[in-house]
Amino acid sequence: MSRLIVAGGTIVTMDAARRIVRGDVIIDDGQIVEIVQTPTSAGGHDAAAQRTAQRPAQQIDASGCIVLPGLVQAHTHLCQTLCRGAADDLPLLAWLRQRVWPYEAALDERAMRACARLAAAELLLGGTTAILDMGTVHETDALFDAVAATGLRATIGKAMMDAGDGVPARILEETRRSVDESDALAARWDGAADGRLRYAYAPRFVLSCTEELLREVGARVHKGARLHTHASEQEAEIAIVRRERGADNIVYLESLGLGGPRAALAHCVHATDDERRRLAASGTHVVHCPSSNLKLGSGIAPIPEMLAQGIHVALGADGAPCNNNLDGFVELRLAALLHKPRAGATAMPAETVLELATRGGAAALGLEDRIGSLEVGKRADLIVVEPRTPHATPSFAPVSTLVYATQSRDVRDVIVDGRLLVRNGALTALTGLDRDEVVATAQAEAERVQSRVRA
Ligand SMILES: [Zn+2]
């Protein structure tokens, strides 16, 4: 594999000391092998040039740019990307029953591949390098396969649904089959694509799952599997859980083994005080999705309070039908702004929010020893941002620039696992994605799926 040098940038390392240095990131076989700080008097290119002479390397000039860990989105639904704009202005349960579930029931392999390719193009071009993704009930092999080909890092799980009102027959499963199929997918895909792909069991949410299914998943989490689900997103959902299962949502999940450091719960907007204490004590990850929570009218998750309590928090865009973008920089900015009217302007400072989107996301995926910061020994997942634009100039403090002023179109280069997937704002051949073809195919496939929904 190739040697790559990202030279002369301002490196926001997000390491334990949160060092910001000017210099070169040296990448070998997909791993960061050295971060060479530029001496204040000399130019960074001399050091980089010397290293290039030692061994042939591709060099990316990042002078004047900000280099940072790729954004990690710990809650996405790539399978919903073709439903963008087809499920607006509804609350959660109606949104699921009237729009999203009928759409997912109409997905076939072709449409799933178009979803994954469209989403990967958007994510990579916008600086997201890793995701925790919930698929739908079927076509999970196609989802994994399509994502693998793009080079994106992804932990994915098939949605598990063996219960619920208003679920189309095609995506309502028999319990045993749901568990067996999840086990088979985990065996096939966990660790695939040089370790870029991982598996996370994904019971959709309590209302979609029997207690038996949740218990089966809990047993697997206990033995080391990862968990990705939704919890306490809206009050109507929590009221039904309380009525049907006799406990608060997160308490109920925990009682079945669905919590702890290998678990990521999306939303937790309405977590009670007792539930927040449990989330902190168990080390469960909460994934904050500010755009989604606003658009579905879910409420504002008490993220500053959760962080103060020691809860692990990550960020995610959720799916295209509830956002409607998969833009990591929009979520960064919103996560910083959303809490200030209630918690004060000092709540959620830029540094904290950038942590959630990098180290926090890596931890939610269980990959904190591999990604989430730029340090020697970690995998090379990093992005180069161009701050010299009318909307981001002047730039004094790179973290402020990144959280409050940067737009995803400022992402110039993207590297995942040492592979250059975006160069000068364009997808490279390594992604197998042609921007225009991906967009045209997605539009055609979306129209075909909607006609299947109506049929
Ligand atoms: Zn979701």
pLDDT digits (tens, 9 = 90+) for 46-74: 555 565 556 678 999 999 999 999 999 99
**Ligand 1 center from residue 453 Cα (angstroms):** 21
pTM above 0.95, yes or no: yes
Report pLDDT digits (tens) over 431-448: 999 999 999 999 999 999
| 117: pLDDT strictly greater than 80 | yes
**Ligand 1 center from residue 223 Cα (angstroms):** 25
User: Sorting pLDDT into bands at 50, 70 and 90, what band is 44?
Assistant: very low
pLDDT at position 39, please? 83
Q: Which residue has the tokens 């051949």?
A: 429
Q: Where in the sequence of the chain do the CATH 3.20.20.140 domains occur?
A: 71-364
Torsion 383-388-392-393 (CA) sign: positive
71-364: CATH topology: TIM Barrel (3.20.20)
| 198: pLDDT strictly greater than 80 | yes
pLDDT at position 455, please? 83
Average pLDDT over residues 263-288: 98
**Ligand 1 center from residue 415 Cα (angstroms):** 26
The long-range contacts involving 295-299, CB below 8 angstroms and separated by at least 24 positions, are 295/88, 295/322, 295/323, 295/324, 296/90, 296/91, 296/92, 296/95, 296/233, 296/234, 296/322, 297/91, 297/234, 298/92, 298/233, 298/234, 298/267, 298/269, 299/234, 299/235, 299/269, 299/270
Q: Where in the sequence of the chain do the CATH 2.30.40.10 domains occur?
A: 3-69+374-427
- Average pLDDT, rounded, for the chain: 96
Lowest mean pLDDT among 42-51, 310-319, 335-344, 434-443: 42-51
3-69+374-427: CATH topology: Urease, subunit C; domain 1 (2.30.40)
**Ligand 1 center from residue 202 Cα (angstroms):** 11
Lowest mean pLDDT among 54-58, 199-203, 387-391: 54-58
**Ligand 1 center from residue 435 Cα (angstroms):** 26
Report pLDDT digits (tens) over 161-195: 999 999 999 999 999 999 999 999 999 999 999 99
**Ligand 1 center from residue 76 Cα (angstroms):** 6
Q: Which residue has the tokens 């919103």?
A: 334
Helices 175-189, 211-222: inter-axial angle, 10-degree rounding: 30
**Ligand 1 center from residue 187 Cα (angstroms):** 24
